[in-house]
Amino acid sequence: MREVYIVWSDFAGGEKDIMELTDSATVEALQLRAPSASTEDAAFINNGMTSRKLWPFITDSAVREKIRLNVLSTQGLIPTLWSYREDTKYLEPCVNAMKLLVDVGPTETLRKAFFRIYTDKNIKRGSYLQQDDEHKVVKVIDDRADRFQFHYIQLFLYCARHFLRMVNVACRKDVDEHKPIIREPSAKIIYRFAVLARNFGFDSPQIQQLMSSDPTTQVVFDSLVRLESDEDDFDEKSLRDEAHQIVKFRQKQRRKQPHATRKKPCLTSDTVDQSLAERCGRAFDKAQKDDKKFLFLRWVSADLDSRGRYITSFYVKRSILLSFLGGKYTFKSLEESVSADFIDELGGAGFSTQEDGRCEEQILRRPSPLLEHQSAQETSEQAPQQDAIVFDRALIPVSYTGIL
């Protein structure tokens, strides 16, 4: 909410007299434009300022030029109150998925609830865990890291990728396509979510309950039971041990497979634009399928400078997530290799864990990215504020959002 005010106040240079001359037609014309990335949107703004369709009640040419430059320098999508409400429709399924891991008290925000269950006992000081893809987590050494913030955001991004199989919801229907069906929540995806949270340092009764049974191991065990059903004296414990070994073997085989070459996401396109409906609200089905592989901290927070004719659906998702989750982070590649701990996924069911849920680590020598925190964030040793959620350039009252 405050973000909307700040952006439009910046357009006017903070001058209230100019802000009062901002008419509803101008707001409607500019909402969700991306002038810093889209040359088409920038041209629209330039033409609107020249023709005086934008801010028609401001006649001073010097003032109009200042406004034009301020608007063109806007990073991300230009927000309005309407777009803010629409974006909560994108975030709500993710929030509901996050609530699978914690009970949120009547006076708590989601973020404060996760801060309450953040134990940090699995993470050494001066480091944080970074999930690079669905099968890999690396430990990054960085004394400046706000571990809670990094890990909390990455759990939210997991939900942004998998909410369709975590809560009962479907994407929006694409034009000329069949209406997406609502699929039942996946026990495997939810289990993997709980394991990831535990490895990030979060702990709660819900997390422990979800981790109590590995769905993949259970499927293998059930198959072995059916194979042995004709035997009168099969031992259940030995079959469970055998199922566990089969899953472990699959994990080792997966490690031997070469990882596909990672492609960078595109923020702009010269062929396809995003309509107003595609720039906010619940994700469309095809765009969700195309973008989910990039919804990791590396790509959502990376400095991916790009300018083209149109923006992409990933640009839209990235802008919404950065606006609500806050924080501007930049990855820097190291010229020399450093040690990083590699945590592989366990047979597609979750990250490899020992009996007590701790990470089973394998040391991997590879160049490791570092994060540089560029905005003022609360440290993980400080409790979140009691009446608001801390975002980049935004303090959104709990009473307004109700979900974050």
283, pLDDT greater than 70: yes
How confident is the model at residue 403, as a pLDDT? 34
Query: Is there a single domain that holds both residue 177 and residue 205?
Result: yes
pLDDT band at 259 (very low <50, low <70, confident <90, very high): low
Q: Is 379 exposed, middle or buried (0-12, 13-18, 19+ CB in 10 A)?
A: exposed
Q: Which of 45, 79, 113 is where one domain is finished? A: 79
Buried b (16+ CB within 10 A) or exposed e, 139-168: bbebeebbbbbbbbbbbbbbbbbbbbebbe
**Domain co-membership, 129 together with 215:** yes
Q: Tell which of 59, 79, 99 closes a domain.
A: 79
Write the CA distances from 92 to 86, 89, 301, 325, integer angstroms.
10, 5, 21, 13
Same domain, 73 and 103: no
pLDDT of 379 over the 70 cut: no
**Same domain as 128, residue 146:** yes
Domain termination site, one of 61, 79, 97:
79
Range of the domain at 250: 86-260+332-401
Confidence of residue 145 (pLDDT cuts 50, 70, 90): low
- 243 shares its domain with 366: yes
6's tokens? 């700040």
89 in Cβ contact with 320 (< 8 Å): no
Q: Is residue 31 part of a domain?
A: yes
Instruction: Give the whole-angstrom CA distance, residue 261 versus residue 318.
Output: 22
Mean of per-residue pLDDT scores for the chain: 79
Q: How many CB atoms lie within 10 A of CB 358?
A: 13
Q: Span 115-138, mean pLDDT?
A: 79
Element (H, E) at 364: strand 362-366
Q: How many domains does the chain divide into?
A: 2
For range 23-51, the mean pLDDT? 96
Structure confidence at residue 144 (pLDDT): 59
Residues 106 and 18 in one domain: no
Q: Could you report the per-residue pLDDT of 58-93, keeping only the tens digit for each?
A: 999 999 999 999 999 999 999 999 999 999 999 999
Residues in the chain: 404
Token pair recorded at residue 106: 């009547």
Q: Does residue 139 share a domain with residue 61?
A: no
For residue 261, pLDDT over 70 is answered with no
Whole-angstrom Cα Rg for the chain? 24
Range of lowest pLDDT (186-195, 295-304, 345-354, 360-369): 360-369
Supply the pLDDT for residue 1. Answer: 74
Both tokens assigned to 135: 């099968």
